[in-house]
Amino acid sequence: MLNLNGSMWIVGVDLGGSKVEVILARRDRVVSTFRGEGLNRQVVGEELVVIKLCEMVNYVLRNHGLVRVDMLVVGGAGLGRSREQKSLEHALYGHDIADKVIVRSDAEIALWGALSGKPGVVVIAGTGSIVFGMNERGRLFRAGGYGYVIGDDGSGFWIGREGLRAAIAAYEGWGPETALKELALKWFTVRQMEDIIPKIYSDISPQRVLSSFAIAVIQLAENGDEVAREIVENGAARLARITVSLLKKLRLKKARHLRITGGIFKDKIFREKFMADVKAAYPKIDIAPAEHPPAYGAVLLGLSYAKEENAKKSKKSRS
C-alpha cells in the first residue's frame, strides 16, 4: 500500500526541452523547488535524459537528507504514448529513487497544475504555444503546438518572427511603414537588414532568438506602433480560435474553466484580445492564471493516483 500519511515524500518533475523543474513535496506541501537545464529526449536520447534527471532529483533529495521518496511523477513533451511512458518508468525504477514511478505527458501535468485536477483547458504561450484540455471523464485533448516551423501560433517565437517579417517588409518597401524596422536593426545590432540572416540561422535555437525579440515587439505595440499591435492581436486571436475549438470538443456540461500561463500572457494587449475572443464564444467562461506550475501538477496527479490505489486496495482487503 502507498504511504499516504503526513510523512509521504513525493517528487514532481516537469521535463522540458528548455528547462527541467523538480519539486520535492511532503504530501501536497512544497518543500523545495529546483530548476535545471532542459533535456530533449529526441536530441540526447533516453539514456542520458534518465541519468541527468536522476542527478537533479538526487541533488534535491540529498539537500533534505533523503535517499529515496515514496513517489516520483514525471511529465514531459513527447511522452504522450503508453510505450514511451512505460519505457521511461522502467528506466527510472532501475535507479531506485522512488517506490512508485509514474510518467505522463506534458499535457497531463500542465492540466493538473493549472486546474488542480478540475476538468477544463490550459493555454500556454511562452517560447512556443499549445492548448491542452481535459473533459469531465478525464480524457485528454490537445490543439495547436506543432513547434516553431509549422505551428506555435501566438507564441513568443511566432510574435518575434512576425515582427521581424514586418520589419523586413518595411525595410524593403513591400510592407507598411513601422518602427519595427529601426527596432530590428538596433536589436540585432546590424546596419543592413540582410546581416540579420546569419544571426538567426547560425544560432542553435532560432526559436529563442526570435522569442526574445518578441519582448521588444510587444513593447512597441504597447507604445502605439500600429503594425506591432496588429501582430500581437493577431497572435492572440489565433490562439483564442484554437482554444475555442478545443473547448467545443470537450463538451463540458458544468462550469468551463480556462487557465492561462506563459510569459506572453503577461502582456495586456495580448491577454485582453485573447480573453475577448474566447468570451465572444463562451461569455460565462472562468478565465484565470494557471493555479500551479506543471511540476506541482505532477505532485497533485501523484497524490490523486495514490489515493485511488489505496481506496482500491482497502476495498479489496475488506472483501
Residues that bind a second copy (CB under 8 A): 42, 80, 142-144, 146-151, 161, 164-165, 168, 172-174, 194, 196-198, 200-202, 206, 210, 241-242, 244-246, 248-249
Residue type, 43: V
| Least distance (Å) between residue 124 CB and a second copy | 16
- The 10 Å Cβ neighbour count of residue 12 is 32
Cβ atoms 290, 17 nearer than 8 A: no
* CB nearer a second copy, residue 97 or residue 143: 143
* CB nearer a second copy, residue 42 or residue 223: 42
| Least distance (Å) between residue 165 CB and a second copy | 6
* CB nearer a second copy, residue 24 or residue 231: 231
* CB nearer a second copy, residue 151 or residue 263: 151
* CB nearer a second copy, residue 54 or residue 214: 214
* CB nearer a second copy, residue 126 or residue 128: 128
| Least distance (Å) between residue 42 CB and a second copy | 6
Return d(Cα 140, Cα 137) in angstroms, integer.
9
Q: Which residue matches cell numbers 499535457?
A: 107
The 140-143 sheet, strands edge to edge: 140-143, 129-134, 120-125, 257-261, 286-289
* CB nearer a second copy, residue 115 or residue 240: 240
Alpha-carbon Rg for the chain in angstroms: 22
| Least distance (Å) between residue 244 CB and a second copy | 8
Return d(Cα 157, Cα 22) in angstroms, integer.
25
Cβ atoms 103, 218 nearer than 8 A: no
| Least distance (Å) between residue 134 CB and a second copy | 16
| Least distance (Å) between residue 2 CB and a second copy | 32
| Least distance (Å) between residue 248 CB and a second copy | 7
The 69-76 sheet, strands edge to edge: 29-37, 19-26, 9-15, 69-76, 98-105
* CB nearer a second copy, residue 1 or residue 150: 150
Q: Can you list the positions of beta strands (E) in the chain?
A: 9-15, 19-26, 29-37, 69-76, 98-105, 120-125, 129-134, 140-143, 257-261, 286-289
Q: Which residue matches cell numbers 514586418?
A: 166
Write out the DSSP string of 21-57: EEEEEETTEEEEEEEEE---HHHH-HHHHHHHHHHHH
| Least distance (Å) between residue 238 CB and a second copy | 9
* Structure letter (DSSP) for residue 300: H
